[in-house]
Amino acid sequence: MEFRSIERAPGAFQQPVTAGQIHAMCRRAFGASVSAVSAVELGNGMYNSTYRVDLGSGLPVILRVAPEPARQFRIERELMRNEHASVPYLAPIAPLMPRTLAIDFTHEIIGRDYLFQTMLDGVPAPDGLGAYPRPEWASFFRRMGTIARDIHAVRGRRFGPVNGPAFTTWSEAVIASLDDTAADLDDVGLDATDVRELAAAADRHRAVLDEITEPRLLHGDLWTVNVMIEPGAPEPTISGVFDCDRTSWGDPESDWTIFMAGRRPGTERDAFWETYGSRSSTPGAAWRALLYRARHLAAVRLERHRLGNSEAVPDTYDDLRDVLALLTA
């Protein structure tokens, strides 16, 4: 078997698997007579270890292998299982998603969750968008707005990650996520004082958070890095959506997609709102938007540390301090 793995430092978060393990995973998933012809690790993702595997007949498949349980943060625990649980609720965008071919959570072959999926056609959006003049990107963001709207239209019964834990109120879910983020920051030796101040502010304003009474499905990570576009199309056209492992039930305004769409007003991203719809402008919505922004900044701090981007970690303290001042004014 041709086997290509990305060279990483011994202490890097993403750890490879061996050629022998891939052979064993393929045999379990597809039968004892199936052997992989090649396995090439892909470098686009930043959490799971992902391989394009050629089984010798038909199209290649994608193998995703989760980090070892001990390496997972509280706010990122068992994301692959969360994605698996969310698939039925992502039915509105099913034609855009890869199909799960096999999945194994037993840890009998390797002490990590893994799954095989169909390989999506297209080009990763970060690579393909540059082929189009920026004004033409508006069509891409209009389609992104439609996808986000369709996901957010799905209703749930409880708040929190799709695979649990579940919470009766939105405030409980938000505060629990902030407490977990603070504990994760403690574990890696980063100061979490501002995140605990954020959790305290959320606790004082539970009534504002609990104006959200109906859980809606949130993708959690829908943006350009998790989207494929059709190669050679007259305009940038979304052909696939992947890595749906951070799904949860909550306030659509808190979704990562909404945060990213609103970051650069006056650019082609404004086309997102043409299809998604307008945002709420009530005082409660304005306060919650600040809290959600701060919560994203706290999660970004943790991710930057995980990725070894230590130079960018201090920026999150400055940004979060500014948001906290507005929240507590």
Domain 123-327 class?
alpha beta
Residues of the chain with CATH 3.90.1200.10: 123-327
- Whether the model clears a pTM of 0.75, i.e. scores above it, the answer is yes
CA distances from 232 to 113, 124, 132, 143, 227 (A): 36, 13, 10, 17, 16
Q: How far is 62 from 50, CA to CA, in rounded Å?
A: 7
Q: How far is 58 from 234, CA to CA, in rounded Å?
A: 29
Give the Cβ contact number of residue 198 at 10 Å: 27
Beta bridge partners of 123: 229
Q: How far is 102 from 250, CA to CA, in rounded Å?
A: 29
User: In which residue ranges of the chain is pLDDT below 50?
Assistant: none
Question: Where are any strands of DSSP class E within the chain?
Answer: 2-4, 38-42, 49-54, 61-65, 100-104, 114-118, 123-124, 160-161, 216-218, 227-229, 238-241, 248-250
Whether 298 contacts 178, CB under 8 Å? yes
What CATH number matches the domain at 2-118, 3.40.50.2000, 3.30.200.20, 3.20.20.60, 3.40.30.10? 3.30.200.20
CA distances from 35 to 1, 54, 122, 293 (A): 8, 9, 26, 47
Kind of pairing between the strands at 100-104 and 114-118: antiparallel
DSSP-derived 3-state class of residue 169: coil
Per-residue pLDDT tens for 261-307? 999 999 999 999 999 999 999 999 999 999 999 999 999 999 999 98
What is the dihedral sign for C-alpha 105, 109, 112, 118?
negative
Beta bridge partners of 229: 123, 238
Residues of the chain with CATH 3.30.200.20: 2-118
Per-residue pLDDT tens for 149-164? 999 999 999 999 999 9
Task: Take residue 82 and report the two structure tokens written for it.
Answer: 């969360």
- pLDDT score for 328: 85
CA distances from 164 to 49, 67, 75, 169, 207 (A): 24, 19, 11, 14, 23
Q: What is the largest CA-CA distance in the chain?
A: 66
Per-residue pLDDT tens for 106-116? 999 999 999 99
Beta bridge partners of 218: 248
- Please work out, in degrees rounded to the nearest 5, the angle formed at the alpha carbon of residue 30 by the alpha carbons of 29 and 32: 105
Q: How far is 38 from 181, CA to CA, in rounded Å?
A: 39
